[in-house]
Amino acid sequence: MISYASIALLADTTASGDSSVWIAAGFILLAVAVVLGVLELFVPTGGVLAVATASCLVASIIAFFMHGMLWGFAALLAYSAGAPFAVVFGFKLWTRTPIARRMVLGNTDADSEGVQPIKVAAGQVAVGTEGVALTPLRPIGFVRFGDLRMEAAAEMGMIDVGAVVTVVETTGDRVVVRARG
């Protein structure tokens, strides 16, 4: 853990000569960290780019401290205050990528066969009716009951695409199904 004394010692050990090199290095490392952070959203590297981003940010803070204590603490404060906003913005941006849609939602477009979901009352499907899962039920997904495609919830766990399901409960507009077998 970095203490105040070690940061102060680091700030006091500025190199002799022109210290504007350190401030330029700090901003360059910050720019590299931003580029790597954006790449991490779109390139699946298993966190390698995230580690490189964090390393660049730490190196940037060190470079700012090498320029001066005030610059170092300003960078540390700015990065600490901006990190939550950057993470939220990055997550919102990432959820719109094709990789995220495949990871989180699955490939529902290919399985829908051009049929749009119809909002129907659960009473239209009787308990004991069998159907086929069109999407993974995690625990909610789409199930086809004959010509009717509707949203259903798995009774427990997850149900894979193509599994034969049986209706075990209908209440209001909610259908609960269980995988057969």
pTM over 0.75: no
For residue range 28-63, list pLDDT tens digits in order.
Answer: 999 999 999 888 888 878 889 989 999 999 999 999
**Alpha helices for 43-68 (secondary structure H):** 48-67
Q: How high is the pLDDT of residue 111?
A: 47
Separation of CA 173 from chain center: 30
What value, to the nearest 5°, has the Cα angle with vertex 99 and ends 98 and 104? 100
Q: How high is the pLDDT of residue 95?
A: 81
* Distance from C-alpha of 122 to C-alpha of 172, rounded to nearest angstrom: 6
Separation of CA 177 from chain center: 29
| Mean pLDDT split into 10-residue runs, the chain, 181 residues | 56 59 93 91 85 94 94 93 89 79 58 50 76 90 88 89 90 86 71
- Domain 107-179 in CATH 3.90.25.10: no
Q: How high is the pLDDT of residue 6?
A: 54
